[in-house]
Chain A
């Protein structure tokens, strides 16, 4: 299906990433934004509020973040593509209903323009420290999909992609941008509607009396209906069976046989399985020069853009360095990292936090390759020199690293001198 021309504001713009993401969401057919202001995401909500009436979309500024995400779930059940835009501590406040959305299997997206630091941190400056929270933030087991754009143009494109994935897999999708991309002003091309592919909501088409809200197609995703269609759906955040009715037995409990006999098996396991078993279709990475690489730089979002500079320099000097950029941060491309770990010397992972995705890389490297973090506390991006230095260190290193903290940035050397390094290794 192609985008509706009424939703697509075709043209070439000079706008920031926040605004580009609002354009992208509208182009994807988003008709509802329940928001609450937080720096540095406000420009996106403002742009949406300004343009929304022309696309027949609604914006409501809710009383708080708990309300804004709850309204998004409600609007999505009413049949609208819906999203919220947020950052920092607001994102934390949304976790209860992200978990509910995952459990109800209702499509929605969250645009998170990440900012620096824990708590209030540095509200106006960049960070990448919500990556693990995206995956593990809500209570209980479920899987989500997360995307990381590195430019305003990708902000537009990934917003469309995020909605398509949410509709395809009936799960929360996080558009994990950051302040740098959000506030970076660049050329953004919004194509014709006929050039934008849209995943339509997978509405149920069978007989009305045979509808079961959580009866799955072979790809483990179930068709959906909307409130008001006459199906009399009962949707709950309690663990539920195919009918949507609460069950006391969890998917793998000891009395599974009993549950099966009653046909009252919990569907909880599918919340993870539908993503894990479809991960080959979901995962998207961008690789360059990894065929003969000795060192691979694994990065995502704005950090990948900074890393290119360092990689370029190293390659000019004759070092065999490749890049692996995560377009989908979650699910994580475990198999690919494992493959590479068997034949490279090491991985350099620059991220604007004190270590999140680096642990995933390290886990998949399984001790077969060195992995180092190029840490950054946030508020600005990496110095390319740091990433370059990390590449050189890995290339020259003869020992097997014990952990991912073996590399120290220029700033760390200045601030901490030599002492910290000894403590760390």
Chain B
């Protein structure tokens, strides 16, 4: 009995970062979102930032549930509106560090307009986009990121629509920092999140993550670990690669790395400058 007590008394390094009272989480075995959460928690640990001043905002979907497991102030909002909601928090209290964690469907499809315009404004947000190529929470429908010709429940004869290239979209819209890793690049992913967190302005980190349930089964890609390993083994690290070349083809190589790291005046800087002008006049 004593041994058991000792184990229970020991603290997990992530206890301060995760809502342990909400564990077990809802994600399926073999899902990559847990890895993304671990990497994010690891990044928070490395940052040693005052957690009271960090706010996590999620939209809807499997990744949308992340907000419920991170032990900071966290908001689980409506489908697609996480970035807009986060914009309000940031403007309401500029001292807060606001992170948006959501899925590809939430950020790129229904929330695409907010994604584009938050990047254009260069508002101080870090967006972590977990891309699993499918709408998983609703049962595996075709997503804006589904590669050609992957099967989904709403592309029963294979997808024929060109998928979105998330880093290219982010760069074109004005993001100052864009990186992509797979769910097994845990250390590099955490490092990228740290970099993005510290960069003033709009930063995006894409995480290629397996959906071991809906994307895998219908396409016969094995279990979650198989998929994770496949993505990892077929990824090529090419920092600074032009985002034109970052399309993801079905079960082909995936270029990962840090693609964009540049400086543009962040929204808060520009706003303060204008407010100073207003007061001078």
Residues of B contacting A70 in the complex (Cβ-Cβ under 8 angstroms): 77-78, 81, 84-85, 87-88, 114
Name the interface residues of B93-150: CB closer than 8 Å to any CB of A: 93, 95-96, 113-114, 116-117
Which of B66-74, B208-216, B217-225 forms part of the interface with chain A?
B66-74
Closest-by-CB residue of B relative to A56 is B275
Residues of B contacting A76 in the complex (Cβ-Cβ under 8 angstroms): 88, 92
Provide the A51-74 mask, 1 if CB < 8 A to any CB of B, else 0.
001000010101110111011111
Residues of A contacting B83 in the complex (Cβ-Cβ under 8 angstroms): 67
Name the interface residues of A195-228: CB closer than 8 Å to any CB of B: 226-228
Closest-by-CB residue of B relative to A234 is B74
Q: How far is the CB of B233 from chain A (nearest CB, A)?
A: 37
Residues of A contacting B279 in the complex (Cβ-Cβ under 8 angstroms): 53
Q: Does A75 contact B (CB under 8 A)?
A: yes
Q: How far is the CA of A124 from the CA of B64 in the complex (A)?
A: 40
Q: How far is the CB of B8 from chain A (nearest CB, A)?
A: 20
Q: Does A80 contact B (CB under 8 A)?
A: yes
Closest-by-CB residue of B relative to A238 is B76
Q: How far is the CB of B240 from chain A (nearest CB, A)?
A: 30
Residue pair A232, B72 in contact (C-beta under 8 Å) = yes
Residues of B contacting A187 in the complex (Cβ-Cβ under 8 angstroms): none
Count chain B residues whose beta carbon lies closer than 8 angstroms to a beta carbon of A.
Answer: 40
Residues of A contacting B87 in the complex (Cβ-Cβ under 8 angstroms): 34, 60, 62, 67, 70-71, 74
Partner of B85, one of A71, A79, A238: A71
Residue pair A75, B92 in contact (C-beta under 8 Å) = yes
Q: Does A247 contact B (CB under 8 A)?
A: no
Residues of B contacting A58 in the complex (Cβ-Cβ under 8 angstroms): 91-92
Partner of B88, one of A53, A63, A78: A78
Q: Does B205 contact A (CB under 8 A)?
A: no
Closest-by-CB residue of B relative to A99 is B78
Residue pair A228, B86 in contact (C-beta under 8 Å) = no
With known contacts A70-B81, A77-B89, A234–B19 Cβ distance under 8 A: yes
Partner of B76, one of A79, A96, A227, A237: A237
Residues of B contacting A62 in the complex (Cβ-Cβ under 8 angstroms): 84, 87, 117
Q: Does A97 contact B (CB under 8 A)?
A: yes
Residues of A contacting B74 in the complex (Cβ-Cβ under 8 angstroms): 233-235
Q: How far is the CA of A231 from the CA of B75 in the complex (A)?
A: 13
With known contacts A53-B278, A63-B114, A66-B80, A78–B89 Cβ distance under 8 A: yes
Q: How far is the CA of A234 from the CA of B70 in the complex (A)?
A: 9
Q: Does A245 contact B (CB under 8 A)?
A: yes
With known contacts A67-B81, A228-B93, A234-B76, A72–B88 Cβ distance under 8 A: yes
| Complex A-B: 23 CB contacts under 8 Å | A32-B92, A34-B88, A62-B117, A63-B114, A63-B116, A66-B113, A68-B84, A70-B78, A70-B84, A70-B114, A74-B85, A76-B92, A77-B92, A78-B93, A80-B92, A227-B73, A228-B73, A228-B93, A231-B73, A234-B68, A235-B75, A236-B75, A245-B22
- B residues bordering A, Cβ < 8 Å? 19, 22, 51-53, 55, 57, 67-68, 71-81, 83-93, 95-96, 113-114, 116-117, 275, 278-279
Known: A100-B78, A227-B55. 12 other contacts (CB 8 A): A34-B87, A66-B114, A70-B84, A77-B92, A78-B90, A96-B78, A227-B96, A232-B51, A232-B71, A232-B72, A233-B74, A245-B22
- The 8 A-B pairs of least Cβ separation, nearest first, read A74-B88, A78-B92, A71-B88, A75-B92, A70-B84, A67-B84, A63-B117, A236-B76
